[in-house]
C-alpha cells in the first residue's frame, strides 16, 4: 500500500489530502482563524453550575460557553484544582509533580455542586469543536498526546490501545512504560508504539513532559482568563503524528515554510525519512496535478458512483445520516441473485468506510444494504465492513446487519463535517446541475458496466457537444484512454438536442 499526503496552502486555509494507492481517503482543512481544535487546553472560568443537569457551563472565550458534565471532570479533579491554585499563587514551582501530594478521587456518582463553584478557575481541554450553534464540548481530564504515548497528569494508570491484539506485546510495552513513567503521571500506549524500543518511547515521553512543564509556566504568567495555554500541533504535524508509517512514500506541499516545518517534524518522529518531503513547483495547481480536485467533485455529492455501475445515495438529516446502496440494475455472471447482492454490498462497504472518513461523518449512520437472506452472507458483510473501518482513527461502533439489511454505525463527531459543494449553475436554465467532471465519472461507470456485462461489437455514446469536445480533446484524450483500457473504440456523437449533462449509450442499432 502506497500512502501520500498532499498539502495545499493559501493565504487563509491549508487543505490536507491523504491518498492511499492514489485514492482520496481523508480531507482536512486548517483555517488560520480557528481558535478551537481538539486537544487544545484552556485556563477557563466556570459560569453557571446546574445541579439539575449535573454540569457546568465554562467560559473558554467562545460566543457560547463550553459544556462540562460531571462525568467529564475526571477522577483526579481535586488534585488538578489544588495544583492549579498552587501554580497561580506561585506556591507550586515544581511542575513535574514529583513531590506533589495528590487529593483523593472524586465520587463517580457525585454531584457537580460538590466540586465546582461559579467563577472558579479551571483547566479544560477541547474534546469536540464548536458545531453549528453549539459551543465546544470540554473535559477537565487532561491528556497530552505524543507519537507513541499519551501523558495523563495526576493519574498512575498504564493502559494499552485495544488495537494491539498480541498479549505478549501488550505486556512488554506495559513493562517498559512502567520503568520510564514519571511519578504523578499515567500513560496510554498508542497503537503505533507496537514493537518500538524503550529509547524511542522514553524520548516521546520526555517531549510530552516538556510540553506539560511549558504549559504550567504559561499558567503562572497568565493574567487573564479565559486563555489558551497549550495548542494542539498544527494539522500537518498532528496527521503525521497519528498516521505516519512505513507505507508513506510522498509528502508534497506547495508552501516553502510548511515544507521546512514538516521536514523538521519528521526528523523528530522518523529520522531518515525526510527525503519523502517534496516541494511542488509546477504551474499546474497541486490538487489538480495529483487528481484530487476531480476526486473531491465526484466523492462529495448526494450520489456516489462505484465500480460496475453500483452507486450510493447519501442523505443527511438533523438526527442521523442515511446511506442507500443501489446495484444500478446491473446484471453479471454470478450464479444467483444472492451472490450479486453480496458482491455489490461488499463493494459498497469498502466505499462507505472511505466516505465516513472522507466526509468525517459523525453521530448515527444507518446503511440500507441490498437485502440478503443468507445469515452467512450477512456475517461476511459485517466482517468485511469492520475490516475496512479498522484504519479509521475516529472512535466508532458497528452493529451486525438486521434481517432487513440495515447496518447501524455510531461514529464520534469531534469537528464539523466536511461538506463540499459539487453542483454548479445550470447553463441551460434555472437551478443547479452536477459539475461536468461528475458526469464524466458517471459516464465512465456506465461504460465499464456495459463492457463488463456484455460483448457488443460497436458502442456509440451520444452527448451534448460541449461534453463531446471535452472527451475528445488532446492527443491522449479520454476517448483514446478508453480504447487503451477496453480494447474497443467508443464512437462519440455530439447531439445538439441534449441537455448539457445528458448522455446515452447505443449498441449496433
Q: Is the pLDDT of residue 147 over 90?
A: no
Indicate the burial class of 436 (C-beta count within 10 angstroms; 0-12, 13-18, 19 or more). Answer: middle
Q: What pairing do the DSSP bridges indicate for beta strands 158-160 and 41-50?
A: unpaired
Domain at 427-506: CATH code = 3.40.1260.20
Q: Which residue has the cell 465554562?
A: 58
pLDDT band for 179, please (50, 70, 90 cuts): very high
**How confident is the model at residue 335, as a pLDDT?**
58
Contacts of 99 (CB under 8 A, 6+ apart): none
For residues 397-410, average pLDDT: 88
Minimum mean pLDDT among 72-86, 93-107, 163-177, 429-443: which range? 429-443
Q: Is the pLDDT of residue 352 over 90?
A: yes
What are the start-end ranges of the H helices in 255-316?
256-269, 286-289, 292-299
Q: Is the pLDDT of residue 177 over 90?
A: yes
Pick the CATH number of 300-411 from 3.40.1000, 3.40.630, 1.10.287, 2.60.40: 3.40.630
Q: Which residue has the cell 486563555?
A: 227
User: Which top CATH class is 3-34+236-288?
Assistant: alpha beta
Indicate the burial class of 491 (C-beta count within 10 angstroms; 0-12, 13-18, 19 or more). Answer: exposed
pLDDT band for 257, please (50, 70, 90 cuts): confident
Domains 41-230 and 300-411 alike in fold: no
Instruction: Tell me the fold of 41-230.
Output: OB fold (Dihydrolipoamide Acetyltransferase, E2P) (2.40.50)
Q: CA quadruple 105, 107, 108, 113: dihedral positive or negative?
A: negative
Tell me the three cell numbers of residue 128: 469536540
For residues 165-171, average pLDDT: 90
Choice between 406 and 422, residue whose per-residue pLDDT is larger:
406
Q: Which residue has the cell 466523492?
A: 299
The overall average pLDDT reported for the chain is: 85
Tell me the three cell numbers of residue 292: 484530487
| Alpha-carbon gap, residue 153 to 209, rounded angstroms | 9
Delimit the domains of the chain by residue range.
Answer: 3-34+236-288, 41-230, 300-411, 427-506
Q: What percent of the chain has pLDDT over 90?
A: 32
Q: Where are the beta strands (DSSP E) in 260-345?
A: 277-279, 303-305, 311-316, 320-326
CA atoms within 13 A on the CB side of 3: 12
Contacts of 229 (CB under 8 A, 6+ apart): 41, 42, 43, 123, 215, 218, 219, 222
Identify whether the C-beta of residue 130 lies closer than 8 Å to the C-beta of residue 36: yes
Q: Is the pLDDT of residue 192 over 70?
A: yes
Amino acid at each position: 500500500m502506497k500512502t501520500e499526503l498532499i498539502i495545499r496552502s493559501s493565504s487563509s486555509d491549508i487543505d490536507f489530502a491523504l491518498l492511499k494507492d492514489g485514492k482520496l481517503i481523508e480531507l482536512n482543512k486548517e483555517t488560520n482563524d480557528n481558535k478551537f481544535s481538539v486537544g487544545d487546553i484552556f485556563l477557563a472560568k466556570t459560569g453557571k453550575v446546574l445541579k439539575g443537569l449535573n454540569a457546568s457551563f465554562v467560559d473558554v472565550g467562545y460566543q457560547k460557553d463550553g459544556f462540562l458534565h460531571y462525568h467529564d471532570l475526571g477522577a483526579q479533579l481535586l488534585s488538578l484544582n489544588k495544583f492549579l491554585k498552587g501554580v497561580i499563587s506561585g506556591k507550586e514551582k515544581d511542575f513535574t509533580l514529583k513531590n506533589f501530594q495528590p487529593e483523593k478521587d472524586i465520587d463517580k456518582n457525585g454531584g457537580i455542586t460538590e466540586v465546582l463553584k461559579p467563577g472558579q478557575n479551571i483547566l479544560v481541554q477541547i474534546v469536540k469543536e464548536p458545531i453549528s450553534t453549539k459551543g465546544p464540548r470540554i473535559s477537565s481530564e487532561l491528556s497530552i498526546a505524543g507519537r507513541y504515548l499519551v501523558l495523563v497528569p495526576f493519574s498512575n494508570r498504564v493502559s494499552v490501545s485495544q488495537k494491539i491484539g498480541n498479549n505478549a506485546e501488550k505486556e512488554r510495552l506495559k513493562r517498559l512504560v512502567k520503568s520510564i513513567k514519571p511519578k504523578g503521571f499515567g500513560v496510554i500506549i498508542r497503537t503505533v508504539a507496537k514493537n518500538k524500543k524503550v529509547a524511542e518511547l522514553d524520548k516521546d515521553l520526555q517531549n510530552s513532559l516538556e510540553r506539560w512543564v511549558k504549559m504550567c509556566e504559561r499558567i503562572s504568567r497568565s493574567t487573564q482568563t479565559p486563555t489558551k495555554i497549550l495548542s494542539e500541533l498544527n494539522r500537518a504535524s498532528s496527521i503525521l503524528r497519528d498516521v505516519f508509517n512505513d507505507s508513506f512514500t510522498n509528502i508534497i506541499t506547495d508552501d516553502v515554510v510548511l515544507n521546512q516545518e514538516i521536514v523538521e517534524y519528521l526528523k523528530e518522529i522518523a529520522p531518515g525519512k525526510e527525503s519523502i518531503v517534496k516541494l511542488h513547483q509546477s504551474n499546474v495547481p497541486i490538487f489538480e496535478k495529483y487528481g484530487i480536485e476531480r476526486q473531491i467533485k465526484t466523492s462529495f455529492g448526494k450520489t456516489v458512483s462505484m465500480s460496475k455501475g453500483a452507486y450510493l445515495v447519501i442523505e443527511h438529516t438533523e438526527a442521523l445520516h442515511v446511506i442507500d446502496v443501489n446495484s444500478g440494475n446491473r446484471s453479471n455472471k454470478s450464479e444467483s441473485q444472492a451472490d450479486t447482492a453480496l458482491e455489490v454490498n461488499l463493494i459498497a462497504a469498502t466505499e462507505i468506510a472511505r466516505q465516513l472518513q472522507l466526509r468525517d461523518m459523525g453521530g448515527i449512520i444507518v446503511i440500507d444494504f441490498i437485502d440478503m437472506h443468507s445469515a452467512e452472507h450477512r456475517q461476511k458483510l459485517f466482517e468485511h465492513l469492520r475490516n475496512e473501518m479498522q484504519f479509521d482513527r475516529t472512535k466508532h461502533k458497528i452493529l451486525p446487519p438486521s434481517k432487513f439489511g440495515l447496518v447501524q454505525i455510531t461514529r464520534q463527531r469531534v469537528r464539523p463535517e466536511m461538506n463540499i459543494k459539487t453542483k454548479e449553475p445550470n447553463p441551460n436554465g434555472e437551478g443547479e446541475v452536477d459539475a461536468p467532471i461528475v458526469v464524466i465519472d458517471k459516464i465512465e461507470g456506465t461504460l465499464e458496466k456495459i463492457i463488463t456485462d456484455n460483448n457488443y461489437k460497436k458502442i456509440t455514446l451520444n452527448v451534448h457537444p460541449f461534453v463531446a469536445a471535452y472527451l475528445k480533446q488532446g492527443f491522449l484524450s479520454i476517448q483514446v484512454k478508453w480504447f487503451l483500457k477496453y480494447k474497443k473504440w467508443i464512437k462519440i456523437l455530439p447531439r445538439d438536442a441534449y441537455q448539457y449533462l445528458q448522455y446515452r449509450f447505443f449498441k449496433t442499432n
